[in-house]
A and B are shown apart, each in its own frame.
Chain A
Amino acid sequence: MSRRRSRVVINGIGLLAAFFFAFPVYWMVNTAFKSPDQFQTYVPVFIPIPTLDNFTKALNQPHFFDFLRNSLFVSISTVLLALVVGFLAAVTLARVKFRGRRSFLLLVAVAQMAPFEALLIPMFLAIKDWGYNWVPTLIIVYFIFTLPFTIWSLRGFVAGIPVDLEEAAMVDGASRFGAFVRVTLPLLAPGLVATSIFCFITAWNEFLYAYTFMSETQNYTLPVWLVSFRTFLGTDWGATMAASTLFTLPVLIFFLVAQRRMVGGLTTGAVRG
């Protein structure tokens, strides 16, 4: 009986926490559906008389589909590149004892401290002769800045999986590699997902480098589109909020798709373990 009550209390707290995280987002979406005279009111309008004007305006911005294509290309490539390179390093760090391992870990830690905004100009000097106004340059930049974290994160996940499991599979006749692929990799799925979400969000949201390193409209990414509703005339908040709403959608979809894999990975792990 009391156990049931504490479950209700705990789930109640969970919903309260969900409210804390979701409310600002709800307010953004809510504003996106409002006409201007509805969003500047003293008594807030919680359920607007919806208008799609803001979305129409946001989507009709010239070159929207160029931005979308570039953003998807850059973000997905960053995720793949960081995962492949980071995974190799992470597995090595977690599973192999080699000389220089601590120094290498230290290097990863120091790379994590690289000041992102401050490196804009030096980075520009480094790329200006070959990478200016070239979309893949952005992949390289985001890759550099997400790699340290990717290694940290994946290394932790790999280390968290007991070696015994692999060794047990090897006793059953599997090769080291086969054991890794069949036993460890499925267990690693949640870790890969969590890490790729992080890389994706970082690349997807980045504005400073995307705007400075690209010079032509067809090479920009979506964050540049987000600020395009600000002109000398002021900012079109409705359109900005509509654009921001659309902008967060892919991340949410990515997460929901990944979430199923994550749960799948966890249950597989539970069955095998």
Chain B
Amino acid sequence: MRDRRHLVPYLLLLPPALLFAVFFIWPLITLTVISFYDYSRMTGMVEVFTLKNYQRILLDEFYLAIVGHTLQLAATTAVLTVVIGYPVALYLTVARPRARAAVIFFILSPLMISVIVRSFGWVMIVGPKGLLETLLSAVGLPGGNILHTEAAVLLGLVNVLLPFVVLSIATALQAIDPAVPLAASSLGASPWRNFLSVTLPLSLPGVLSGVLIAFSLASSTFVTPAVLGGSQFKVLSTMLFQQAVVLQNWPFGAALAITLVLIVLMAVTLQFRLVERGRYKAVFQ
């Protein structure tokens, strides 16, 4: 069935390719073009070329701080999620079948529920009169309402991204040939030694890929920072929404969007280069 220079594959791909050309590539070009347009409150969007929007992001300390905050939040989330998720992925490789199935179910099933629901769920826990406040006041301690703080956003992001990270590390651990750690232990390596010098190094690609997936998702998630961080919590995603939708400043919103794309692309490219040479390679072979 493998044909060369035959028309059939092109005919098959024509409808989806058209859809992507019109509603994916073209809108992204429009977005890029708009990010170079001018805007003022009096005139609205003006179709003249200007670098003003990007200058504002890179030179204005206020916006530069927001870029910094986005990077820092995404990096903290990524590292935290990987540290919390690694032992879970490791457990999946040694667990008995039923325990393993249960852990997979509990870790992955939240993916079926909208991120808005999962983020709002944390309000019951860290918000006013929430679980944390109730628990603390039961032992006579003040505080516990951490809604609209960095900590609340971090909790929410780690929770939302955990399944992706566990999946990525578990896949790498699964790919390790069981004969290798077996050989190490038959040569007298203790379980700890075996983990530290065999399993852990062999799983590092999965760890790195988990960090980068979590980083790119954390830097571009809107709902969790918006719900748990409140209106004063400023990262690129919430800022972009505010500028483009609330204030209707499309050019500046578009410039913030392109900045965010560049950050995410950086992480994705790194992942391709360092880790997998294409996440989808395995699927297509």
**A, B from the same assembly:** no
* Interfacial residues, chain A to chain B (CB-CB below 8 A): none
* Interfacial residues, chain B to chain A (CB-CB below 8 A): none
